Chain A
């Protein structure tokens, strides 16, 4: 069963995942870029898998390549689900 896709729910999952990847939780905001958080392509591949698992939203490699910030990722997941 997938979790309901709300901005808050997606933000929490994305933030938790990025913290789990090793970023300082205090530095994770919707404006922070993946580059600032040292989130690279391998992390993004894991993030896509976590999102699909949680929300049933599939992100392809092309989609992932476009997102630059935490907010971008949240927005893309929410828009895909609606």
Chain B
């Protein structure tokens, strides 16, 4: 089986444009939540895309394009028109929870207000969940496998896991992967609100006793995965090794997690087994940590069951305390945040954490970042993602 490495990353998040902004902002304790939402306020497509490119892309695809350009540059895949591998050996797998819901809502408004003849022809090509993977494949001339993964809030992690497998078995030499989401729309906000999933207080307080739901964010994260030998041959700088991946299903409920955390626990165990590692090898866990009452309790149980006593020695923090919940982009953005944390030997904080909840007694890295204990070895971390529908996916990443 081939070893797979990450050679480039790019991100558009509520903390700003660029993966550096995400890491620097989070570690510094910046919270990008305003008025109960976490929008990418700095993002103006006109700064990066032509009029034609913008018009042909829903906001979730625009995020993927801009993060993709950054990731390719970061990986040294330049000029963009000249891929470092035969185009047929490069793939593109992206995750999204919903796809182009803004396009969908505008199209539906026109249908109801002005009739079927007034629905723009671009509605379907922009709203389809695979629009972002198609746009990137076209933009970069990728001719291997390209498709999108839909597994709600686990989609970004599933996409990276699928990309990993694609390279491991030799179906591709490199894959552009990650996820994007732009669901700060009236319908999505109202619908998540009806589900009682959103924070009524407008604060994202993962693992805190006062947590009352997630804060909806938006953005995108793209990673370049390559076969390690081929990456070395082309002299690529390597950011991280994708050591393992585990994915399971709860087979329990459409929105609620398995009540004893078994599904989530099995995905953590599967990622560790795939990496041939034990909990003692893990220096940091980037939690799913949505700040919903149920997720954070069940995730804590799952980590304890998978890690045993070592759970108490492992820092666990949630990126969502800084940028809210990016749904199908969350796993991708959080994998990037994990790589930065491991490389920087730092445990980023769970912002806002002040009050312990009963039975939730892990080290959630409250309020302030702190150095990561590493025992002199390159640190290894996990990034957890759990989606509506009972989809669980966990990545095991090692800093280089």
Residues of A within 8 A of B (CB): 20-22, 38, 42, 45-46, 49, 52-53
**Closest chain A CB from B32 CB (angstroms):** 31
A80 to B349, CA, bound (A): 67
B76 at the interface (CB under 8 A from A): no
In the complex, the answer to whether A38 meets B118 with C-beta atoms within 8 Å is no
In the complex, the answer to whether B52 meets A21 with C-beta atoms within 8 Å is yes
In the complex, the answer to whether B50 meets A22 with C-beta atoms within 8 Å is yes
**Closest chain A CB from B135 CB (angstroms):** 13
SS class of chain A's interface: helix, strand, loop or mixed?
A: helix
- A-B residue pairs in contact (CB < 8 Å), sample of 13: A21-B51, A21-B52, A21-B55, A22-B51, A22-B53, A22-B55, A38-B52, A42-B56, A42-B121, A46-B120, A46-B122, A49-B117, A49-B121
B125 at the interface (CB under 8 A from A): yes
Q: Please tell me which one of the listed residues A22, A45, A53 contacts residue B118 in the complex, with CB atoms under 8 A apart.
A: A53
Given contacts A21-B55, A22-B50, A22-B52, contact A46 B121 (CB under 8 A): yes
**Closest chain A CB from B49 CB (angstroms):** 10
List of A residues within 8 angstroms of B117 by Cβ = 49, 52
A20 to B51, CA, bound (A): 8
List of A residues within 8 angstroms of B53 by Cβ = 22
Q: Which residue in chain A gives the minimum CB-CB distance to B49?
A: A22
**Closest chain A CB from B118 CB (angstroms):** 7
Which chain B residues numbered 94 to 133 have a C-beta less than 8 Å away from chain A?
117-118, 120-122, 125
Residues of B within 8 A of A (CB): 50-53, 55-56, 117-118, 120-122, 125
Given contacts A49-B117, A52-B117, contact A42 B52 (CB under 8 A): no
Beyond contacts A20-B51, A46-B121, A52-B117: 11 other A-B pairs, Cβ-Cβ < 8 A, are: A22-B50, A22-B55, A38-B52, A42-B56, A42-B122, A45-B121, A46-B122, A49-B117, A49-B118, A49-B121, A53-B118
List of B residues within 8 angstroms of A20 by Cβ = 51
Number of A-B contacts (CB under 8 A): 24
Q: Which residue in chain B gives the minimum CB-CB distance to A41?
A: B121
**Closest chain B CB from A34 CB (angstroms):** 13
Pick the most buried of A22, A49, A52, A53: most chain B CB atoms within 10 A of its CB: A22
**Closest chain B CB from A18 CB (angstroms):** 11
A46 to B52, CA, bound (A): 13
A53 to B51, CA, bound (A): 23
A42 to B118, CA, bound (A): 15
Q: Which residue in chain A gives the minimum CB-CB distance to B125?
A: A42
Q: Please tell me which one of the listed residues B50, B56, B120 contacts residue A49 in the complex, with CB atoms under 8 A apart.
A: B120
Q: Which residue in chain B gives the minimum CB-CB distance to A39?
A: B52
A52 to B52, CA, bound (A): 22
List of B residues within 8 angstroms of A53 by Cβ = 118
**Closest chain B CB from A6 CB (angstroms):** 23
A46 to B117, CA, bound (A): 11
A47 to B95, CA, bound (A): 32
**Closest chain A CB from B110 CB (angstroms):** 10
Q: Which residue in chain A gives the minimum CB-CB distance to B122?
A: A42
List of A residues within 8 angstroms of B125 by Cβ = 42
Give the 8 A-B CB pairs with smallest separation, nearest first: A22-B52, A22-B51, A45-B121, A46-B121, A22-B50, A42-B121, A22-B55, A42-B122
Q: Which residue in chain A gives the minimum CB-CB distance to B121?
A: A45
**Closest chain A CB from B218 CB (angstroms):** 24
A52 to B121, CA, bound (A): 14
**Closest chain B CB from A27 CB (angstroms):** 13
List of B residues within 8 angstroms of A52 by Cβ = 117
List of A residues within 8 angstroms of B122 by Cβ = 42, 46
Q: Which residue in chain B gives the minimum CB-CB distance to A52?
A: B117
List of A residues within 8 angstroms of B56 by Cβ = 42
**Closest chain B CB from A3 CB (angstroms):** 16
A42 to B120, CA, bound (A): 10
A22 to B55, CA, bound (A): 8
List of B residues within 8 angstroms of A38 by Cβ = 52
A46 to B55, CA, bound (A): 12
Q: Which residue in chain B gives the minimum CB-CB distance to A53?
A: B118
A45 to B50, CA, bound (A): 20
Q: Which residue in chain B gives the minimum CB-CB distance to A48?
A: B121
List of B residues within 8 angstroms of A49 by Cβ = 117-118, 120-121
**Closest chain A CB from B127 CB (angstroms):** 14
A45 to B119, CA, bound (A): 11
**Closest chain B CB from A38 CB (angstroms):** 7
